[in-house]
Structure 1
Amino acid sequence: MIQHKEGSLMAKHRNFSIFLGRTPQGAMMGVFCAFLIALLAACSGGSTSTTPGSTGGTLSGGTDISGKTILFEIQSSPSDSFFVPVVNGAKKAAGIAGLKLQIQYASNDDTTEVNQVNTAIASNVIGVALSIPDAGLNKVICAARAKGIAVVAFNIDGATGQGASCVQGFVGQDFVQSGALIAQKMIDSGQIKPGDHVFCPVEFPAQVYAVQRYQGVKQALSAIGATCEELGTGVDFGPAKSTMVSYLLGHPHTSAIIALGHAPLDQAPAAAKQVGRTIPIGGFDVTSDILSSIKSGAITATVDQQPYIQGFQSVMQLALYLKYAISPANINTSNGALIDKNNVDKVVSLVPDFR
């Protein structure tokens, strides 16, 4: 996910989620541990669910990891539709590997995420797949590695310094490349011209995804002498739309919108319509409304993170490392993944389960 808002909204929505779990040995111990984990999760303010893997899975040879538990961290809340295909991909990989998957949501709070990871470490999970919003997770990530727990990041990797060295692999979008991709798409189509002013709304401007997408957009725009102004909107659709309406009313010479996250992109066509403007719109991520707007022509294109891959590959990389000692790698899930009128019909039926 990504950064979208300034001031109090950015502070409120800044962080991400995690979860944890453990597979106990005896029946009585299993009941006790399950109760303890649920209690700790409730106290930490997050949301947790456990998905059992298929017994043994379909991977043969190597170290026996069947029935073991890994923590799968969701940076957002259970209501965030972006993570539906992420979770589906993670569940599929866990089933193939025979792993138990504990899914936890931190509801965009760093303290909750840190607490949940610490609890996972104490519960002896064998691996952690998580989104890392910022350097605030550095210490706990390295604490997991120090205990021999495998760590793979997905969606966002904001770890720095020593923390970055404790992340074994990242599965997610190349944000700078993707920012340049959507901006260049709109330049090449003649929708953004030299000297144009572009509005770049994003949920949380300080988060890694927002900073780097903005960097990529500015690189492309600067090359033709166009400018881009960023503004935080938050992740909720209603406030995001209101923020964009206010901006467009106050900046009537705005030539185009490049929304740096799914919330502002979803609402950008409605915001432009409300102020009586017909301007080019492009951005990131996929919702049913975004795809409908591409079909109607209200949105030119979106860069898809292909979130199913983020869930599937982060869990599968943990499984391959734990079973076969295959080192995790960095995987760019969005290399040239543009959706526009030419291919939107192939995607529509796959939302929200797979795209």
Structure 2
Amino acid sequence: MKNKLLVAFAAGALVLTGCSTGSDTSSGTSSEDTGDTSAGTTSAADMRIDVVTHGAPGDSFWDVVKSGAEQSGDDLGVELQYNSDPDPGAQSTLIDNAVADGTDGLVVSMANPDGLEASIKAAVEAGVPVITINSGIDDWQDFGAITHVGQSETIAGEAAGEQLNDAGVSNVICVIQEAGNVALEERCSAAADTFDGDMENLQADNTDLQASQATIQSKLEDDSIDGLLTLGGDMSGAAVQAVAESGRDIAVGTFDVNADVAKNVLEGKLLFAIDQQPYVQGYLGVTGIYLKVLNGNDVGGGQPVYSGPAIITEDNAEDVLKFAENGTR
């Protein structure tokens, strides 16, 4: 049912595109304005949508979100602006700037809701529709957003805990790669609640994977630790390398997927990956704003739109790998 709803969501936008633009283009704008829309404010050719995330430069996860957003912009024939900054103050400034520049809609990730609250509420007050993606599932309604596209971190964390139970491990380190990211903290908390053994959080830095590997490797000097849970694809690579350097038999699972993650699952270096499908988040976030601006649709029916979790294991990693190598998983 979930997949059918997502297909219908995207298909409806593409049907509307066919009604509101004169021809398909690959440049992000349509070639022809055919007149008024139901909202009476814009056409696809005139529409600008801004995506503002907390992604750090070089983070492969956010490259996939960006690819999904850009593909949606191309498919719908709108102008798309993508900007990101992991600092909540700087991210708020990006949101404020987009509103001041006349954006027609915002797609925003909220790793630090408190830091973004004023800017998002100001955008909504100014009449700019907002959809949150990735992080922010507990706050989007209070901030006035249309919906949230992402996964329930509680459900995803519980799934990770069950996978660790199946692996038979008893003492696990949960590696948090972004300080202050409430979604990551929720993953560890939900995994710990479901996991039958002991779980301890470890702070690392996704912008310095070499230092993070050393931090993890130092922790593995404790012989009682027999499992690692990382919360991002890039960090999982550091964990796999730390385990290899330690010479110990440590079970490693992760959240999020990229090509290296899929390969490591296939090769048995990772037990599993919890995939929130970031391409879907970028694509449907932009699509939802398009539908609101051009047709007055409030997608989600007052509920979040779930992009995951999907569980990647050795059984299905090969199928996922071909998409990950294309930059869409």
Partner amino acid for 1:203? Answer: Q
- Per-residue deviation at 1:57? 9.6
2:216 corresponds in structure 1 to 244
Aligned counterparts of 2:81 and 2:133: Cα–Cα separation in 1 = 15
Partner amino acid for 1:282? Answer: G
- Per-residue deviation at 1:89? 1.3
Aligned counterparts of 2:33 and 2:220: Cα–Cα separation in 1 = 53
Partner amino acid for 2:223? Answer: P
Superposition pairs of residues 179-258 of structure 1, within 5 angstroms: 179-188=157-166, 190-192=167-169, 196-221=170-195, 224=196, 226-235=197-206, 236-249=208-221, 251-258=222-229
Normalization by structure 1: what TM-score? 0.77
Give the number of equivalent residue pairs.
293
1:277 corresponds in structure 2 to 248
What SS class does the counterpart of residue 202 from structure 2 fall into? Answer: strand
**Residues 346 and 69 (structure 1), Cα distance of their counterparts in 2 relative to 1, 3 Å cut:** same
Match of 1:137 among 112, 116, 121: 116
- Per-residue deviation at 1:290? 1.6
Match of 2:298 among 298, 306, 327: 327
Match of 1:344 among 317, 324, 328: 317
Aligned counterparts of 2:322 and 2:70: Cα–Cα separation in 1 = 20
In structure 1, runs of 5+ residues without a counterpart are 1-50
2:147 corresponds in structure 1 to 169
What SS class does the counterpart of residue 92 from structure 1 fall into? Answer: helix
1:262 corresponds in structure 2 to 233
Superposed structure 1 runs of 4+ greater than 4 Å apart: 158-161
What SS class does the counterpart of residue 156 from structure 1 fall into? Answer: coil
Normalization by structure 2: what TM-score? 0.83
Match of 2:269 among 280, 298, 307: 298
Alpha-carbon displacement from aligned partner over 1:20-58 (angstroms, at most 9, x marks no partner): xxxxxxxxxxxxxxxxxxxxxxxxxxxxxxx73333699
- Per-residue deviation at 1:169? 1.1
What SS class does the counterpart of residue 318 from structure 1 fall into? Answer: helix
Percent identity between the aligned chains? 23
8 A contact 1:70–1:126 mirrored in 2: yes
What SS class does the counterpart of residue 184 from structure 2 fall into? Answer: helix
Partner amino acid for 2:185? Answer: V
1:18 corresponds in structure 2 to none
**Residues 307 and 55 (structure 1), Cα distance of their counterparts in 2 relative to 1, 3 Å cut:** farther
**Residues 57 and 112 (structure 1), Cα distance of their counterparts in 2 relative to 1, 3 Å cut:** farther
Partner amino acid for 1:325? Answer: G
In structure 2, runs of 5+ residues without a counterpart are 1-26
Q: How much is the aligned-residue C-alpha RMSD, in angstroms?
A: 2.2
Partner amino acid for 2:242? Answer: A
- Per-residue deviation at 1:65? 2.5
